[in-house]
């Protein structure tokens, strides 16, 4: 891969992440200042530190528990442990992420934690759906999340968002309690701070979503660098989206589908991600960089001896749960 194209994408991703994080923190501090002046800023700074420490230590395992994930014990012939070891080495990770198995027919993959607590969860549906080449790209993408400390970045954003939501609620509650004073003209009603208080949780959510999309692009870029095969990941993204569209069409919309606005997505649109990966592939060598028996296409024999889950996706008030 030529350095110019790779570093141009990386610089754009890093600048976007930095701007979004700056906007998140500035909005948090501004809301705290509106609520209690400088004292509010100091209180927020003091409250955020233990929240990050406590939340970061337990959030990853809690997410794995919610998905009923269990350690993925596979024989050496499956190739997955060797694959994760090789990708982690290329990403300069000090500790190997632990592999977890999700008993779900949906194609799911996510990473949690950092360092010794790093883990990658793969669903039954994903392992059965993708080819080995596609699976290499997806696992490299998740390794990229861990290498880029994305769980820590998103954790900071989540704490900031929760603090803003709490301050916003407290501010609106004080407004309601003092409403009689405003009605009788005994107190002035500052309109702009009230509007900011009301809409700040929504703004924080939109910034969080934008940050998530930015980190997905960066993980795609890291996966392309680790494997030397952007088209493998691109193929996996297209296959997963096709499967999910079929499931949604079967569950909700028999004759079509509803497009979610890009601003409301946690992940960028698949078409845009594939376009970027194809763009990177133009500068790749004929063979993946550093190719060997551990990062090449091979027969797909990962879940031999493991029965496929029989539970089908179900509709609930909160959405679809697999």
287-305 confidence digits (pLDDT tens): 454 444 445 445 455 554 5
Lowest mean pLDDT among 52-56, 85-89, 124-128, 252-256: 252-256
Question: What does DSSP say about strands 70-71 and 98-102: parallel, antiparallel, or unpaired?
Answer: antiparallel
Q: Which of 86, 98, 134, 142 is catalytic?
A: 142
- Is the pLDDT score of 264 beyond 80? no
Retrieve residue 206's tokens: 């939109």
Of the listed ranges 147-161, 225-239, 308-322, the least confidently predicted one is 308-322
For residue 260, the model assigns a pLDDT of 54
Q: Mean per-residue pLDDT for 31-55? A: 74
Q: Which residues pair with 71 in a beta bridge?
A: 100
What is the rounded average pLDDT of the residues 159-182?
79
**Cα four-point dihedral sign 308, 311, 312, 318:** negative
- The torsion angles phi and psi of 123, rounded to 5 degrees, stand at -85, 160
Q: Which helix (H) or strand (E) holds 125?
A: helix 124-129
Taking only the tens place, the pLDDT of each residue in 64-78 is 888 888 888 766 446
Least confidently predicted of 95-99, 180-184, 276-280:
180-184
Strand-strand pairing, 98-102 and 119-123: parallel
Place of tokens 């929760």: 162
Mean pLDDT is highest, among 137-146, 182-191, 274-283, for 137-146
**Is pLDDT above 60 for 55?**
no
Residue 136 or residue 41, greater confidence: 136
Residues 15-43, mean pLDDT to the nearest whole number: 83
Cβ contact 211:154 at 8 Å: yes
Q: Give the CB-side neighbour count of residue 135, counting CA atoms within 13 A.
A: 30
CA dist 177 → 101, 170, 180, 186, 276 (Å): 50, 11, 8, 13, 52
**Residues ≥6 apart with Cβ < 8 Å to 16:** 210, 214
Q: Which residue has the tokens 């596609």?
A: 134
Interval 145-153 mean pLDDT: 85
Residue 142 appears among annotated catalytic residues: yes
Q: Where do runs of H (alpha helix) occur along the chain?
A: 3-66, 80-90, 124-129, 132-147, 150-177, 179-183, 191-227, 230-251, 270-281
User: Look-up: residue for tokens 């549906």?
Assistant: 125
Give all strands (DSSP E) within 70-221, no chain letters: 70-71, 98-102, 109-112, 119-123
Q: What integer best gives the mean pLDDT of the chain? A: 76
């Amino acid at each position: 891969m030529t350095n110019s194209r790779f570093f141009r994408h990386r610089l754009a991703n890093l600048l976007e992440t930095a701007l979004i994080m700056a906007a998140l923190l500035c909005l948090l501090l501004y809301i705290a200042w509106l609520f209690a002046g400088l004292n509010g800023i100091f209180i927020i700074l003091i409250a955020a530190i233990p929240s990050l420490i406590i939340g970061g230590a337990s959030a990853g395992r809690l997410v794995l528990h919610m998905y009923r994930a269990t350690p993925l014990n596979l024989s050496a012939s499956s190739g997955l442990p060797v694959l994760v070891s090789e990708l982690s080495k290329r990403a300069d990770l000090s500790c190997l992420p632990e592999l977890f198995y999700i008993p779900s027919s949906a194609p799911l993959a996510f990473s949690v934690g950092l360092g010794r607590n790093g883990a990658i969860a793969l669903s039954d549906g994903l392992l059965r759906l993708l080819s080995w080449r596609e699976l290499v790209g997806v696992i490299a993408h998740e390794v990229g999340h861990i290498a880029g400390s994305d769980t820590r970045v998103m954790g900071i954003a989540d704490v900031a968002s929760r603090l803003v939501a709490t301050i916003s609620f407290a501010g609106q509650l004080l407004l309601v309690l003092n409403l009689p004073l405003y009605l009788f003209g005994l107190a002035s009603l500052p309109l702009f701070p009230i509007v900011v208080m009301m809409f700040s949780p929504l703004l924080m959510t939109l910034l969080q979503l934008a940050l998530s999309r930015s980190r997905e692009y960066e993980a795609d870029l890291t996966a392309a660098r680790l494997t030397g095969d952007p088209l493998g990941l691109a193929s996996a993204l297209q296959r997963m989206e096709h499967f999910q569209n079929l499931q949604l069409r079967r569950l909700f919309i028999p004759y079509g589908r509803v497009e979610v606005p890009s601003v409301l997505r946690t992940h960028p649109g698949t078409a845009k991600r594939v376009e970027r990966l194809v763009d990177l592939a133009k500068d790749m060598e004929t063979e993946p960089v550093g190719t060997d028996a551990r990062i090449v296409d091979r027969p797909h024999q990962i879940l031999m001896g493991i029965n496929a889950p029989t539970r089908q996706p179900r509709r609930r008030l909160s959405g679809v749960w697999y």
